[in-house]
Structure 1
Amino acid sequence: MGFMIGIDGGGTKSIGSIVDSKGMIIATAEEGSMNLHTREVEAVGHTLENLINKLINAAGCDEREVDLVSIGVAGIGRKRDEITFRKIIERINLSIPVLLNTDIKIALVGAHGKEEGIFLLSGTGSIAYGIDSTGSEHRIGGWGHILGDEGSGYDIGRRGLEKIVQGIDKRVDSSNLKKRVFDNLGFTSIDDLINFVYSAKGTKADIARIAPIVEEGAQAGDKICIDLLIEAGNKLVDITEEIIFQMPHNENLVICAGGGVLENITTVYKHFHFGIRKKYPAITIIPPKYSPVLGALIMGCKHLNKMEEINLWKNQWKQVK
C-alpha cells in the first residue's frame, strides 16, 4: 500500500492530510472552502487541486504513489451537487482514484472510528446524522442558515444580535450584551452593526463569531446570554431526538457531540447533555475520537479493503486540527 490522502472539504475551510503505508501522518495542509453553494465551481476546483498538490509536495512523492484521495465535501448531499463535484474532479485531470462522501459522513466515521452511531454537529451550522447497524443513514437538519441550523453558532449569533436591536427598541434590556459585542467587534454605532449583518461581504461565519461573545456574557451571569444558550442546547436536543427515533434498537446508542459550539461553549453542551441524559439515561455521549480528515482515511482504507491497517493506524493517530 502506498500513500493515501484524506480531505475534509468544509464549508468554511478545507483540511487534508497525507499518510504513508504505515499510517504515519506525513503532512497536513489547509485551503479555502469547497462548498459548491457558497463558491464558484472554478474556485472549488482550484482549491481541491492546490490542496492535493500541497500534500503531495510535502510528502515528496508523486501522484503515481498515491493509492486514493478520500474526500468528504460540504454541500453535496443532493445527487445534482455530487455530479457537479465529480465533474470538477475530471476537470483538474487528477490521475488518482477518488472516494467521494459528504463532510458529515466522514465526521461521523472519524468521531466514532467506524461507520455506525450518531453524530451531532454544531459549529457554524448544525446537523444530526446517524448510521444504524444495518448501514442505513438518517439525517435531521443541515438545511442551511435560512431554513435550519438550529442551535448552531450562526443561530446563537443571530439571536444575540436580535436581542441587541430589541434592546435599542427598548423591548428588552440587552445593554450588557450590546457592550460586549460592540467592544469585541469594534462597533461604535448601530450603523456598524447593520453594515456588519447586511454587507455583501458578511458571511454566516461572521455572524457565528458572536456565539463565543454570548458565552462570555453567560459566564458573567448575563441572563439574556444564559437564556440564549439554554435555548440553543434545547434545540440541539430536539434535532437529536428525531435521529434517535429513526434509529432501530435505540436504547443503548452512542452519540458523539462535536463542532465548535459543542466543544467550546460550555453552557450549550451542558444543557444538551442534561436534556438527552434526562430523557434517555441509557444513551452514552462522547467527544469525537478522531477528526473528520481521519474519518476520510478510515473510509479510504475500507474502500481499499485495508481494514487490518486501519486498526493499527488508529493507535498512533491524534486529532488533526
Structure 2
Amino acid sequence: MTEHTYFLGVDGGGSKTEFVCIDATGTIKARALTGTTYHLEIGMNETVSRLEQGVAAICGQLDIQPDALGFVFFGLPAYGEDSVIDPQLHAACRSLLGHERYLCGNDMVCGWAGSLGCQDGINIVAGTGSIAYGERQGKTGRAGGWGEVFGDEGSAYWIAVQGLALFSHMSDGRAPKGVLHQRIVEALSLGNDLDLCQRIMGPAAMGRSEIAALAGLVSRAAADGDTGANAILASAAHELAALAISLRTTLSFPPEERVPLSWSGGVLLQEPLVRNAFAKIVDDTGLFALAEPLHAPGYGGALYAKRLAHTGGGRFSASAHKV
C-alpha cells in the first residue's frame, strides 16, 4: 500500500486497552490507552465509546483522519464467543473508521503476534483472564479463555478467587491461618472476616479487574512462605502448561518438533513463581522451545494489521480465530 501507510493494532484487555500505530517500517508513530473493552463487564455502549476514544487519540496525534489508516486490527476480549454481540462490535468498528480496511478478532491474537512476531508457534496469555492461541502453516487454534465464571484457569482473576477461597478456609478453621489471611484483611479493610462477602458480592461489589488485582496478595503471601498461597501459584502454572500442551495437539505439530512457546500478560510476565514453574513443566515435556516475548501485545496487534494489509485480509475472519 502506498497512500495508506499507517497500521493500527488495538489490544483490548480485561484491565486496559492499548492502541499502537506503526508505519510501513514498523516504527511506532502513536500510542493511546483507554480502560478495558471487555463488553461483558462494561456493556456495549461503553466498549464502543472507548474504542472511539482510542482511535480518535491516535488520529489526533498523527493529524490524520481514520481513512488514512491502512489497516486496523481490533483485538477484543471475548470476541468470537457471542454470535449476537460479535456483529454489533464489527459494525461499530466499521462506523468509527468509515472504511472496510479492518478486522475484528480476539485479543489473544495480539499476544501471539507480539510475542512470536507473527511466526508459527503458541502464545499463552495470562492476564486478567487466560487463553492460548497459536498458528501452524495457516491453521489457527485456541484453548481456554472460557471466562471467569467457569474458566480462565491460571489467570490473575482465577488466582485471586482461589486466594479468596483459601481465606475462607483459613477463617473458619478448614485450613491453618497463613500470611494470606491478614494480607486480605488489611487490603480490603475488613472489620470481620465475613465482611468479605459484602465486598465481593454486595451492592457495591468489586469489578472483575479489581478482583484480579488481588492476585498480587497471593503472590506476596507465597513469597513470604504461605504454603497455601504457594500451592495456588503452582496449580496456576500447571493449568497454563495444560493450555499449551492441548493446543499443540489441536494444531497438529509433529511429535518431534519443539514448538516455539511464548507468553504475555501480567501473571507470566510479572510473577516469577508462576513463570518459573510453568517454564519447568513445559520444558520437561521436551515438546516446546521457550521463546522470550519479542514485543508487547499492543505492538503485536499493529504487526498483525500490517500483515493483514499485505495479504488483503482475505483468509482471515472472526470465525478463523475460534476453535
TM-score with structure 2 length normalisation? 0.87
Q: Residues of 1 paired with 2:66 and 2:194: CA distance?
A: 52
Q: Which amino acid aligns with 1:120?
A: I
> In the alignment, which residue of structure 1 is the partner of 2:30?
27
Q: Structure 1 residue 71: deviation in Å?
A: 1.6
Change (3 A) 1:21 1:116: closer
Please state how far the C-alpha of 1:119 moved relative to its aligned partner.
0.7
Aligned partners of 1:298 and 1:137: how far apart in 2? 17
| Residue in structure 2 matching 1:149, options 148, 152, 159 | 152
- Whole-Å separation in 2 of the counterparts to 1:113 and 1:20: 16
**Match for residue 78 of structure 1 among 74, 78, 81:** 81
Q: Secondary structure at the residue paired with 1:304?
A: helix
Letter of the 1:57 partner, please give it.
Answer: G
- Matched with 1:254 is 260
Shift of 1:184: 2.8
Residue pair 2:125, 2:265 contacting (<8 A) in 1 also:
yes
**Which residue pairs with 1:319 in the alignment?**
none
Of residues 203, 206, 211, the one that matches 1:207 is 211
CA contact (8 A) 2:9 2:304 kept: no
Aligned in 2, Cα 1:121/1:63: closer, same or farther, shift over 3 Å? closer
Aligned-residue CA RMSD in angstroms? 2.1
Q: Deviations over 1:161-204 (max 9, x none)?
A: 11111111111112421111222333332243222211354222
Post-superposition CA distance 1:275-296 (Å, at most 9, x none): 111122x521123211222222
Residue of 278, 288, 297 corresponding to 2:302: 297
Alignment of 1:56-95 (within 5 A): 56-78=59-81, 80=83, 81-92=85-96, 94-95=98-99
Residues 146 and 64 of structure 1, relative CA distance in 2, 3 Å threshold: closer
Give unpaired runs (5+ residues) of structure 2. 313-323
Relative to structure 1, the CA distance from residue 45 to residue 243 in structure 2 (aligned partners, 3 Å threshold; closer, same or farther) is: same
Three-state SS of the structure 2 residue aligned to 1:147 is coil
Greater RCO, CA 8 A, separation 6+: 2
Q: Matches of residues 1-321 of structure 1 in structure 2 within 5 Å? A: 1=2, 2-78=5-81, 80=83, 81-92=85-96, 94-95=98-99, 97-132=101-136, 134-200=137-203, 201-246=205-250, 247-250=252-255, 251-280=257-286, 283-305=288-310
Is contact 2:179–2:224 with CA below 8 Å preserved after alignment? no
- Tell me how far apart the structure 1 counterparts of residues 148 and 49 of structure 2 sit (CA, whole Å): 26
Counterpart contact for 1:258–1:287, Cα < 8 Å: no
Task: Give me the whole-angstrom Cα distance separating, in 1, the residues matched to 2:168 and 2:92.
Answer: 43
More divergent stretch after superposition (81-90 vs 116-125) = 81-90
Partners of 2:264 and 2:297 within 8 A in 1: no
Cα distance in 2 for residues equivalent to 1:152 and 1:105? 17
C-alpha separation between the residues in 2 aligned to 1:33 and 1:46?
Answer: 11
Question: Helix, strand or coil: the match of 1:88?
Answer: helix
1:310 matched residue in structure 2: none
> SS at the partner of 1:18?
strand
Shift in alpha-carbon separation, 1:67–1:187, aligned structure 2, 3 A:
same
Name the amino acid aligned to 2:261.
I
Conservation of the 8 A alpha-carbon contact between 1:18 and 1:59 = no
For residue 317 of structure 2, what is the aligned residue in structure 1? none
Residue 111 of structure 1 and its aligned partner are, at CA, apart by 0.9
User: Please, which runs of 5 or more residues in structure 1 have no aligned partner?
Assistant: 308-321
Q: 1:93 to 1:275 in 2, by over 3 A?
A: closer
Distance 1:257 1:20 in 2: 25
The AA in structure 1 aligned to 2:220 is: E
Deviation at 1:218, TM superposition (A): 1.4
Aligned residues: 305
